[in-house]
Amino acid sequence: MSKKINIGIVGGAGYTAGELIRILLNHPNAVIKYVQSGSNNGQQVASVHRDLLGDTELVFSDIDPQQVDLLFLCSGHGKSVEYLAKNIVPETVKVIDLSHDFRLKRDGNPFVYGLPELNRKAIQSSDRVANPGCFATGIQLAILPLAAAGLLKDDVHIHAITGSTGAGQEPTKTSHFSWRDNNLSVYKAFEHQHLGEIGESLKQAQPNFSHAVHFIPVRGNHTRGIFATSYTRFDGTLADACQLYFDYYRTHPFVHLTDENPDMKQVVNTNKCLLYLEKHGDQLMIISCIDNLIKGASGQAVQNMNLMFDIDEKAGLNLKAVAF
């Protein structure tokens, strides 16, 4: 009999929680015991996440941390710290936080940064994991092989576009349909909050890295998916770079190097990251594309769960891309 994991989900009404529930309902080891939402208590989960109609009879309710093996924290930034301060979570209960609250290193932070392609062994032995940000995931996967080889020798430049779901479910001036449709805009140029975790990971992989990471985020007119283009100086050939990336990701099941320029629909609805390389003069260009809600959030959280509970890393994550 396969190992069963009893799960509670805090902040169950948002986009990431909806994706998480959908994945876990089809996971061979997962049993969702509780889904909590302060504004929807007593309502059926499928009345909020309407794609789940016919798939579950779960009702939003309070969570008894004594009755679960794992808590997913899916509330907004700042809410995870608040929840853990107000609720007694036994040390035997593992926690995966999908907010920004525990991603950055600081004294007293017990959470391991949950990028499996960087910290797989640490995740496997941890009871507390901070899931990376969506932009941070796509960007780090694009440049980590260079850092791990000590080959980031200049500034890194990144232009990346994200779908509206990256802004959360609550409508804002720049996320509601009439503003977002047929529209593009730059925001938080050079100062996006994900730069902190990107910088920490690069320093972990290449301790002597001291150059700037220049990041231009763009709001796209699509609902989901991140398409990031990065470039930096690289002294080797394209073949050298491809071999470097292939070797780095050889044992990581969700990152794939492609020799054809990719498009975003190849990854939407999957836990995949596709990487494509080109060499232009002394610059190496890396295209990286992920689904911001899956590899950039809920799918990666399930991948971390699999590692923490010593089950198949791909369990529950063989998902079909939308493709067209």
Sheet holding 283-290, edge to edge: 185-186, 213-219, 156-162, 226-233, 283-290, 273-280, 255-257
- Please give the Cα distance from 13 to 87 (Å, whole number): 20
| N-to-C CA span, the chain | 38
Whether 134 is catalytic: yes
User: Under a CB-based contact definition with an 8 Å cutoff, are residues 144 and 257 in contact?
Assistant: no
Q: Maximum Cα–Cα distance for the chain, whole Å?
A: 60
Tell me the HSE value of 7 on the side-chain side, using a 13 A CA sphere.
28
Q: Which of 134, 242, 273, 289 is catalytic?
A: 134
Buried b / exposed e along 85-116 (16+ C-beta atoms within 10 A): eeeebeeebbbbbbbbbbbeeeeeeebbbbbb
DSSP state of 298: I
| Torsion of the alpha carbons at 314, 294, 60 and 85, rounded to the nearest 10 | 90
Of 283, 301, 279, residue with least CA distance to 292 = 301
The alpha carbon of 232 is separated from its chain's Cα centroid by a whole number of angstroms, namely 23
Read off the amino acid at residue 201. S
Burial class (CB in 10 A: 0-12, 13-18, 19+), 181: exposed
Would you say 21 and 35 are in contact if contact means Cβ atoms under 8 Å apart? yes
Active-site positions read 134
